[in-house]
Structure 1
Amino acid sequence: MYLGIDCGTQGTKALLLDAASGRVLGQGSAAHTLISGANGRREQDVTQWTTAFATATRAALTEAGVDGREVLGIGVSGQQHGLVTLDRDGQVLRPAKLWCDTESAAQNAALLDWLGGEQGSLERLGIVIAPGYTVSKLLWMKARHPARFEQIAHILLPHDYLNHWLTGRACAESGDASGTGYFNVRTREWDLGILRHIDPSGRLEAALPELIEPDEAVGRLRPEIAGQLGLNPDAIVSSGGGDNMMGAIGTGNIRLGAITMSLGTSGTLYAYSDTPRISPQPAVATFCSSSGGWLPLICTMNLTNANAAIRDLLQLDLESFNALVAQAPIGCDGVTLLPFLNGERVPALPQASASLHGLTTENLTRANLCRAVVEGVTFGLRYGLDLLRESGIRSERVQLIGGGAKNPLWRQIVADLMATPVVCTTHSEAAALGGAIQAAWCHARQSNPIASLAALCARCVRVDEGTAVEPQAESVRAYEQAYRRYRQLVIDTHGQQTPPDLRTVAP
């Protein structure tokens, strides 16, 4: 039995997997809160993560009705790009800055300029650093908290921190490391020169965790943590990875032709590649996967959080909100919402704010507002899918995961807007499932060096054909018009030009 953990923005999920049968035995969750402030500040106290880890694990064990001492391995998925800094005694220096934090946008711009702009960043790292990546957070911390910056002895990502809490060892793996901005995705090595640029003393490079392979164990549980969690003290902790990398494993996206879309707090689209095929489009991040390949990916920073903002504004529960979405027509009678409440990464508008367009006395209705936010956030994912298709990514069907995937109406909107069939995996918590599968793979590799991740995914990952939807030709045409209006509004409002060679590409 294996435990998968997904530490996300809104909470932590735990999942217990019987890898022999592929059955999920039990699940649990616990919520986090966000520290928000001016200028895009988004942070969390890491004690929330460890507390939620314990709560979610106990709930999963209780639901499964099993003894935690049967757990053989643990795989941790974590929100990407976050910065956790520790001093030499292992104490956390300040709250973790998260992926959705844009307070360091100015520092990112300065670093991008030093790299030679987007092209220089692509040539050097294989990705274009963006606001929210870890590297600019370090430069921000140096400027805003110099005394604490001088105390840094360990630089960790969120999942690295949880692995350190579990085992006492500071490690990283290439998938999550890809999103730091000081990692070369082609060679799978740290780029030490960028860290020396931030701090010529060399302290930052000394603070980097050790890189390990995705099928390697970080170590075994510390006895006090095993006791606290009620788990087997001999359980191994696998390398783990970023939430997108673990989500890829949890949807079987470890081969060519697969594509996954996550409808969570953020929206993500990613596909497997067996080579580091670097896209010329800066918004496409060709991260390493946590299965040995690469994971071309786009991320939008506004998805279910934007939906929730409109629900809160109109004081609607989820059922009422969905009913209103269903009442409005495609295109919302001309109402378009640019939902950039947290700025945006795709399109690349880190300092943007949200805006409503096309309002008249006839179309200003609650139903149109509700549908406009769902369409607006999905337009961003379509923009990203166009970018992936432009770089050669093809798929016959999109696999949906995340909380939003449970909504049948949203699934149909995605299928129509993407002009591609859509299906959900049986388990929407794909990142936690991916963590458990990776833990099983890592455990198996200890006795069998050729144990297959593909075989584990084939046994443990299933799609729910009852959720499958096909695009409807009339709706596809209507969405194409609404999408083109969205694209033009992005240009008119924010000056964001569509790449000249980017057109509607057939799936």
Structure 2
Amino acid sequence: GGGGDNPCSMLGNNAYLLESVGTSGTFSVRARQPIVDGTLHPFLLPDDRFSHPQGPRQPLHCIIDAASAIDYMAERVYGKGRFTYEMLNKVAQRTPAGSRGKVIIPFIHGQRVPYAPQGRLYIKGYAPSKDKKEDLIRAAMEGVAYAMKYGFELLREGMRKQEIVEAERITITGGGAKGEEASQIRSDVYGKELINPHTEGAAVGAAYIAAAGLLDEPVEKVSARLFERGIQVSPQKPTLIAPRDENIKLYEEGYERYLEVLEEAFKNGFEQESLIYSSG
């Protein structure tokens, strides 16, 4: 297609601040210069004629496990092949925000940032005799949201240094964007609105790049021309997800707790007795 999935998705979704949630999870922003801090990937958008005032760069943060961390937990709670993502989102709604005190560090296959090749799933506050299965599912979703916020804060710091105005909304894409409750949790954790354009952004972005090459025009001019002609890239209207006021403060405190548990996990070398059961 002429570019990586995240750069193409940035173009295809016409996004300024993009969150992509699939097996892994990424957060990226448009920027004039790369953010060189040793933690972010310095992507360049595929079209070198790109003239958006925020620039052609795409600093990106990535966590290794997003939806895969939720799947990992669900397999241990319900058994492999005995759940759907839709089911997990409904199950998570039955547990209050904060998952009754449970905190999950979702480092199933290690982690890039913070650097933790030894990282494994780490749980705090789990009591097998008292807890419900849905508590663990929601805690996994919250853990992923906290891990994503960790990267979002790194991006924010770089954006402030470049005086980049933060977008009011975060454009979301990927399979994880289809989860209603998981997306609501992330909106609450970030304290920002999420917008799901319901497009196959990477494919659309690749198509824009191909058209730009054929027409010898910048990508944003090609996409604007399609918009002016009323050509829609998705039959669905965008979905807006707003943070719930009653959860914003709770999740701010939850994120601080997550950082404390993360520090504990590093001190313990992520070693922990296995407490997770399977329904068999």
State the TM bucket, normalised to the shorter chain: 0.7 to 0.9
Deviation string, structure 1 residues 370-423 (Cα, Å, up to 9, x no partner): 101111111111111111111125121000000111122122111111111111
> d(CA) in 1 for partners of 2:197 and 2:253?
30
Q: What secondary structure, in the 3-state scheme, does the structure 1 residue paired with 2:93 have?
A: helix
Counterpart in the other structure of 2:223: 457
| Cα distance, 1:346 vs structure 2 | 2.4
Deviation string, structure 1 residues 134-193 (Cα, Å, up to 9, x no partner): xxxxxxxxxxxxxxxxxxxxxxxxxxxxxxxxxxxxxxxxxxxxxxxxxxxxxxxxxxxx
TM-score normalised by L of structure 2:
0.82
Q: 1:434 to 1:479 in 2, by over 3 A?
A: same
Counterpart in the other structure of 1:400: 172
Q: 1:322 to 1:278 in 2, by over 3 A?
A: closer
> d(CA) in 2 for partners of 1:404 and 1:422?
13
Structure 1 stretches of at least 4 aligned residues deviating more than 6 Å after TM superposition: none
> d(CA) in 2 for partners of 1:464 and 1:299?
28
> d(CA) in 2 for partners of 1:342 and 1:361?
24
The structure 1 residue matched to 2:73, chosen from 301, 310, 331, is 310
Over aligned residues, Cα RMSD in angstroms? 2.1
Q: Does 1 or 2 have the higher relative contact order (CA < 8 Å, sep 6+)?
A: 2
| Cα distance, 1:267 vs structure 2 | 0.3
> d(CA) in 1 for partners of 2:111 and 2:99?
22
Counterpart in the other structure of 1:349: 116
Q: 1:453 to 1:251 in 2, by over 3 A?
A: same
TM-score normalised by L of structure 1:
0.46
> d(CA) in 1 for partners of 2:67 and 2:26?
12
Q: Would you tell me which structure has more strand in proportion to its own residues?
A: 1
Letter in 2 for 1:266: S
Q: Tell me if structure 2 keeps the 8 A contact 1:416–1:476.
A: yes
Q: 1:324 to 1:480 in 2, by over 3 A?
A: same
> d(CA) in 2 for partners of 1:346 and 1:462?
34
The structure 1 residue matched to 2:249, chosen from 477, 497, 502, is 477
Counterpart in the other structure of 1:439: 210
Deviation string, structure 1 residues 72-107 (Cα, Å, up to 9, x no partner): xxxx2xxxxxxxxxxxxxxxxxxxxxxxxxxxxxxx
| Residues 1:340 and 2:107 aligned together | yes
| Residues 1:259 and 2:26 aligned together | no
> d(CA) in 1 for partners of 2:223 and 2:172?
16
Q: Tell me if structure 1 keeps the 8 A contact 2:172–2:196.
A: yes
Larger Rg: 1
| Cα distance, 1:495 vs structure 2 | 4.6
Letter in 2 for 1:262: S
> d(CA) in 2 for partners of 1:332 and 1:338?
14
Counterpart in the other structure of 1:249: 11
> d(CA) in 1 for partners of 2:113 and 2:201?
23
Q: 1:359 to 1:342 in 2, by over 3 A?
A: same
Deviation string, structure 1 residues 426-480 (Cα, Å, up to 9, x no partner): 31x21122111111111111xxxxx231133332667965510111221111111
Deviation string, structure 1 residues 313-346 (Cα, Å, up to 9, x no partner): 2134223322211111111111111111110112
Q: Tell me if structure 2 keeps the 8 A contact 1:259–1:269.
A: yes
Letter in 1 for 2:202: A
Q: Tell me if structure 1 keeps the 8 A contact 2:9–2:205.
A: yes
> d(CA) in 1 for partners of 2:179 and 2:47?
30
Letter in 1 for 2:40: V
Percent of pairs identical after alignment? Answer: 29
Counterpart in the other structure of 1:326: 93
Counterpart in the other structure of 1:415: 187
> d(CA) in 2 for partners of 1:487 and 1:299?
17
| Residues 1:272 and 2:13 aligned together | no
Q: Tell me if structure 1 keeps the 8 A contact 2:90–2:181.
A: no
Q: 1:413 to 1:465 in 2, by over 3 A?
A: farther
Letter in 2 for 1:241: G
Q: 1:463 to 1:422 in 2, by over 3 A?
A: farther
